[in-house]
Structure 1
């Protein structure tokens, strides 16, 4: 098999469930996949469902493990950062540990994985998609540390896009409203509200937006996409 016969390779973090798993399924028809996440068994189950997919289990905040895992990737066409965490809390009530954890997962791990994979992405003139949030565009009360991390993630994407444009990389920030996932159920429970799945985006809808960014023609750069639930 020659290099021209190889299918594009995509790495999706947070692929064990929710949005990440939906993104993997959306990309699978046209891509081989590295399924990133911590739940090895869930990754194995998803890989068995998707031809050309294999688990890529790693703790993203473990710098040494991340470097070892990324070291085997020589060419990468698509990098989708779907892994992340959220924590509610006002400025008055949020501990320093929560602030640090939010930034470690949502920003620092993303920046380090991207840095490690830049040679592989440059070789393929690849696409990078960062799953952001409406909180990365406007901060609401009770979401201080989460919104701050997502604003930082947006700034990282803007800097990466400007720096790597000469190398052919395309970088997209995808700002999603609330999505029907297990994480969202936990958030609504913390808020004390009623969970209504029909009021939220489906993970498959978010995955469709990722696919749009990944498959955009070479003359088009989708820099930011905003996806809101139609139900408001």
Structure 2
């Protein structure tokens, strides 16, 4: 570990947006690489200049040990599931909320002492679905609406402690999760219509690099090419 580097924990760091964020922050930060698959976590740790594993299933726990001081916490882990309200059973609602909301709340709660010590930053990777719900998307959207509410409340609660909270809302992004969603919808997958994960990581970098006197509270990113 490079003691001169600030520390960033990125959940869901072994694929998609989380991986792009971890690689980008790895240029300047010591990265705690969050993920469930030890092999994939270790591979990314080995590829970064300064990093260590943070392995665990955040939806069920237990959580790995946190550092005494934490400069950045990026919540990128999440799941997408569900159909219409009529066709979605309770177990699906519970699983999606466990990953997208409850795990975020609990990890943040445990990390608050370390974040307060560093006057750090919490970044929640939300979604356009956190603003608008579409037919068939009630489960995912409801979890992202809840995540937005969690972020908004946390921001005001921690403002006196110097902890900043930013909610980043990407539109559809070229990830394995997106590919699975489009396949379920029976649509054609055209990468030109999706954000690159690196674009979302660049937006997170903007949030992280803002001087401490200001906070980018909510940031929405959309693909340039859309139908």
Could you tell me the TM-score, scaled by structure 1's length? 0.95
**How far apart in 2 are the matches of 1:137 and 1:100?**
21
1:135 aligns with 2:129: yes
| Pairing of 1:79-98 with structure 2 (within 5 A) | 79-98=73-92
Alignment partner for residue 61 of structure 1, among 43, 59, 62? 59
Which residue among 171, 185, 188 is the counterpart of 1:191?
Answer: 185
Residue equivalent to 2:39:
41
Q: State the aligned residue count.
A: 226
Q: Please, what is the CA RMSD of the aligned residues?
A: 1.3
1:52 aligned to 25, 50, 53, which one? 50
SS at match of 2:166: strand
Gaps of 5+ in 1: none
In structure 2, C-alpha distance between the alignment counterparts of 1:84 and 1:61, rounded to whole Å: 9
Q: Give the Cα–Cα distance (whole angstroms) in 2 for the partners of residues 12 and 114 of structure 1.
A: 12
In structure 2, the partner of 1:25 is 23
Q: Is the 8 A contact 2:82 2:93 kept in 1?
A: no
**Corresponding residue number in structure 2 for 1:219:** 213
Q: Name the counterpart of 1:99.
A: 93
1:121 and 2:121 correspond: no
Shift of 1:188: 0.4
CA deviation vs aligned residue, 1:206-231 (integer Å, no higher than 9, x gap): 00011111110122210000000000
Q: Identify the residue that residue 71 of structure 2 maps to in structure 1.
A: 77
Describe the SS at the equivalent of 1:86. coil
Q: What secondary structure sits across from 1:153 in the alignment? A: helix
CA contact (8 A) 2:31 2:51 kept: yes
Contact 2:123 2:165 in 1 (8 A): yes
- The equivalent of 2:166 in structure 1 is 172
Q: Assess if the C-alpha contact under 8 Å between 2:82 and 2:92 holds in 1.
A: no
Secondary structure of the structure 1 residue equivalent to 2:45? helix
Residues in 1 aligned to 2:190 and 2:218: alpha-carbon distance in whole angstroms: 28
Q: 1:56: Cα distance to partner?
A: 0.9
TM (norm. structure 2) is 0.97
1:88 CA displacement: 3.5
